Amino acid sequence: MGSSDSEVGRPAPAIESAVVANELAPVPGWVGIVRVASAAAAASEPPGSFLCRARWGRLAWYDVRGPRPFVELLWALEELSATLCEVCGAPAVARDTWERGVHTLCPRHAVAVAAAGPNAQDVYDRAWASLGSRAVGSRED
């Protein structure tokens, strides 16, 4: 079977990130949640698919395809993401940050992000690096 140029490099029908093409999750603290969603997508009949990104301190799913139980699971996982730190996955709350965004952060990472100011991405980059080989699909530096 042939493929067109538009199909080259597209992932299997599980997930794709809107942030960085080779990341499974848009932020390191939610890797586990996105892995659950990916496993559920693969196990659904017919197989489900989705795209995700971080938005307003929670995961946002879009281009979702799959049976109703799969979609309902994504809704539950979105609510769960709103309670876990974007950086480390610890219990957290939504917080306004210096760039007028909303991020779900634990106390430790709320302080780190505030102290980093315009360099807040460095906090996330260190978290990605700490995942190392444990996070298949994490960003390559």
For residue range 40-99, what is the model confidence (pLDDT) as tens digits? 999 999 999 999 999 999 999 999 999 999 999 999 999 999 999 999 999 999 999 877
Q: What is the pTM of this model?
A: 0.75
pLDDT > 70: what percent of the chain? Answer: 77
Is there a contact between 13 and 33 (Cβ–Cβ < 8 Å)?
Answer: no
Bond preceding residue 46 cis, omega within 30 of 0: yes
DSSP string, 73-120: HHHHHHHHHTTB-TTT-SB-EEEE-TTS-EEEE-HHHHHHHHHHGGGT
Give domain limits for the chain: 11-134
Query: For tokens 């505030």, what's the residue?
Result: 114
CB proximity list for 111: less than 8 A, separation 6 or greater: none
> Which one-letter DSSP state was computed for residue 21?
T
Cβ-based burial of 116 (10 A; exposed 0-12, middle 13-18, buried ≥19):
middle
pLDDT at 134: 53
